[in-house]
Chains A and B, each alone.
Chain A
Amino acid sequence: MGVKIDPLKCTACMACELACGYHRDDAFALLSSCIVVYRTRDKKDYFGVILKQEEDLVIARPEGLEVKRIGAVEEGGGGDASAKPMLLREACDLCSDREAGPLCRQICPVEAIYLD
């Protein structure tokens, strides 16, 4: 079972990123989140979500999902160049300490995140 993302439902609100940061820090911070909205191509309206799992990066682009093995991804690749590189962040733990499951799924206002 893992976190899945429907990029066409996503509205880039970053609630998932905020929730993941809270899960890790018990505070509001965006630097430690394992789920990140990529939003640098603002001018082209091209945005999606990147999720770091134990062994791979899930890249939810508008045109479809792509899964890359972490060893096959360049250091720092797959995310905004200016953000903390994805490979330096902790992997998704499915919020294993929460009975309700992943906080990102619970907080997403448009049901773009689900478990499968």
Chain B
Amino acid sequence: MEYLASDRIAIIDLASGEVNEEPYPDGLCQEKIGGAGVNLALYQQHQDGEPIVLGAGLFTGSMVPGSDLGVVTAKSPLTGTVCHAPLTQYAGMELKYSGFDYIVIKGAAASPKYLWVHDGIADLEDAADLWGQDVWAACEAVRANMGDELIQVLGAGPAAEQGSDLAALMINYWPSGDRFGLGRALAAKNLKLIALRGLGLLEIAEPEDFAAQCLELLGAVKGGAWAGKKGLADLAAGLGQQALADWLAPLVHRHRASFNTPFAANTFLFLEADPSQLSEPPAPEPGVLVGDLAALAGLQGLGLSAAEAGQVLGQCAHLGLDPAGVAAAAAAAGVKDAAGLMAGLATIKGPVPGLSGPLAPAAPAGALFGLAQSADPAWRARRQALAYLFGLDPLFMLMAPELSEEKLLELVGLGIGLEIGPEALDAAVAGIG
């Protein structure tokens, strides 16, 4: 692949410690598009090694609105089937610029390791000192060791090391949206974390036309139903969950978007600082970043205050637990108070209900911001599949129908100089469905 790609696939064998590279052939992209499609093909190629595959989508890191998504593909310890989990925030972008389009991690290491991927180099490093550390400490240790605070860390926490069903893959300090227990899959390989950093350059087949089309598309997207709205409180209100929005509002500090994604879907809650404070708070850990409405709704449903829910979310983040799964498991166990929930976090059990397909749900069901089609399960499923192939934010794909399949296929030609038609797209969608 010459354009919008590094043309390299890394194959890491944890058992032998070998790192090999392969080119990324055009034909694989033309058949599978990218992201989850190519990940799955690589998974099947290397399935004897029970691989975890990381991949960027075709447009990840580009100027296409919402281009934040990377994808992790592996067998879920929860469902026993192959699943695709999202890498949003800055992680998908960092993977795309890391010098590798796809990373296959197979086998298991004899002792704790971490994978350091940067500028076209993939190294396995000793992680004996990191094993047992919580998610935040391990993230900070790796960044300090490498002298780079912008490293994106995909990690497993203590919950994963202890085999929890609810051990999610984490991004830096925060949950990734993984519902499939992939933190546990990482830890089962004796792999504590994957550190990503990239300062690469992505060439474009037709730069001027591609950029012009992206800007035109952005113009259309900016007039969409989400316009003027930010964060989880607005998202809850946009789903008709006004009580959840009101419950959350007093703790809201600011909202953060994932890479090149117009809607800021992450909301920071201040628990140890005044939410109206604009200067840098003195508290070292003033609050939590939340990007998961299902987690908040679940914790609210237990009868917790928003502040108590924030404390639970913070502890989940340290331990590496999926907070939506925690809320569901707590509800199933009849837990009704924050103290009881916090005390049981280390041993809480799943499995998470509602995993009906191979993709993690991006948002609770319903019409987002009044968009009727977003309430249609078939439309949602198609949009999620497109997101996971093209590398576009799964939630934003549900609120921006302007990112039409015709536009995306037009951008493929301008971006990578290869033609992919609707039939190939249908086949790729079916392939990951």
Which residues of A approach B to under 8 Å, CB–CB?
Answer: 8, 11-15, 18-19, 22, 25-31, 39-47, 61-63, 80-84, 106-107, 109-110
Q: CB-CB < 8 A to B280: which residues of A?
A: 41, 44, 46
Pair A27/B201 contact, Cβ less than 8 Å: yes
Bound form: Cα–Cα A19–B260 in Å = 10
- Cβ-closest 8 pairs across A and B: A109-B262, A82-B148, A13-B257, A45-B268, A11-B264, A29-B201, A11-B257, A40-B149
Q: Determine whether the beta carbon of B204 is less than 8 Å from that of A28.
A: yes
Chain B binding surface, main DSSP class: loop
Q: Could you say which residues of chain A place their CB within 8 Å of the CB of B270?
A: 45
| B93 neighbours in A (Cβ, 8 Å) | 14
Q: State which residues 284-334 of B face A: CB under 8 Å.
A: 284-287, 289
- Rounded to whole angstroms, the CA-CA distance of A22 and B45 in the bound complex is 36
Q: Is there contact, CB below 8 Å, between A82 and B261?
A: no
CA distance in complex: A6, B136 (Å): 31
Chain A, residue nearest B174 (CB) = A42
Q: Is chain A's interface secondary structure helix, strand, loop, or mixed overall? A: loop
Across the interface, B278 reaches (CB within 8 A) one of A15, A43, A62, namely A62
- Could you list 30 examples of A-B contacts with CB < 8 Å? A11-B230, A11-B257, A11-B264, A12-B256, A13-B260, A13-B261, A13-B262, A14-B93, A19-B63, A22-B63, A22-B207, A22-B211, A27-B207, A28-B61, A28-B62, A28-B201, A28-B204, A30-B97, A31-B199, A40-B149, A41-B280, A45-B287, A47-B254, A63-B279, A82-B147, A82-B151, A84-B199, A106-B215, A107-B218, A109-B218
Chain B residues near A26 (CB-CB < 8 A): 204, 207-208
Minimum distance in angstroms from B204 CB to a CB of chain A: 6
Instruction: Tell whether B369 is near chain A: CB-to-CB under 8 Å.
Output: no
Name the interface residues of B224-271: CB closer than 8 Å to any CB of A.
230, 253-262, 264, 268, 270
CB contact between B215 and one of A29, A30, A41, A107 (< 8 Å): that residue: A107
Given contacts A13-B258, A22-B63, A82-B149, contact A45 B289 (CB under 8 A): yes
Bound CA span A29–B207, Å: 13
- B45: min CB distance to chain A, Å: 28
Greatest chain B CB density within 10 A among A27, A42, A43 is at A43
Given the known interface contacts A13-B261, A13-B262, A25-B201, the answer about A43 and B256 at a Cβ–Cβ threshold of 8 Å is: no
Q: What B residues does A106 contact at CB under 8 A? A: 215
What separation, in Å, do the CA atoms of A101 and B203 have in the docked complex? Answer: 23
A83 to chain B, nearest CB (A): 7
Residues of B within 8 A of A12 (CB): 256-257
Tell me if B173 counts as interface (CB < 8 A to partner A): yes
With a cutoff of 8 Å between Cβ atoms, the chain B residues found around residue A63 in the complex are: 278-279
- The interface on chain B, measured as residues whose beta carbon lies within 8 A of the other chain's beta carbons, has a size of 53
Q: Is the CB of A13 within 8 A of B149?
A: no
Q: Which chain B residue lies CB-closest to A29?
A: B201
Q: A13-B261, A45-B286 are in contact. List 4 more A-B contacts (CB 8 A).
A: A13-B260, A14-B260, A82-B150, A110-B262
Residues of A within 8 A of B61 (CB): 18, 28
Q: In chain A, what residue has the closest Cβ to B285?
A: A43
In the assembled complex, the CB of B332 is this many whole angstroms from the nearest CB of chain A, namely: 32
Q: Is B222 an interface residue (CB 8 A)?
A: yes
Is B202 part of the contact surface with A, judged by Cβ < 8 Å?
yes
Indicate if B281 sits at the interface (CB-CB under 8 A). Answer: yes
Contacting pair B149 A43 (CB below 8 A): no
Q: Which of A15, A25, A39, A62 touches B90 (beta carbons < 8 Å)?
A: A39
Contact B204 A43 (CB under 8 A): no
* B203 touching A27, Cβ below 8 Å: yes
Partner of A29, one of B150, B202, B268: B202
Q: Tell whether B73 is near chain A: CB-to-CB under 8 Å.
A: no
B172 at the interface (CB under 8 A from A): yes
- Is B183 in contact with chain A by the CB < 8 A criterion? no
Give the complex CA separation of A43 and B284 in angstroms.
Answer: 8
Question: Closest CB of chain B to A39's CB: distance in Å?
Answer: 7
Say whether A62 contacts B254, CB under 8 Å. yes
Q: Nearest Cβ in chain B — how far from A16, in angstroms?
A: 10
A16 to B65, CA, bound (A): 12
Given A13-B259, A14-B260, A109-B218 in contact, is the A62-B289 Cβ separation under 8 Å?
A: no
Q: How far is the CB of B253 from chain A (nearest CB, A)?
A: 5
Cross-chain contact A45 with B284 (CB below 8 angstroms):
no
- Which residue of the partner chain B has the closest CB to A64? B278
Q: What is the CB-to-nearest-CB distance from A97 to chain B, in angstroms, rounded to a whole number?
A: 11
The chain A residue with its CB closest to the CB of B215 is A106
Would you call A109 and B65 a contact (CB within 8 A)? Answer: yes
Cα of A31 to Cα of B215 in the assembled complex, Å: 21
Distance in Å: Cβ of A4 to nearest Cβ of chain B: 18
Minimum Cβ distance to chain B for residue A82 (Å) = 4
Query: Which of B63, B215, B262 is close to A28, meaning CB atoms less than 8 Å apart?
Result: B63
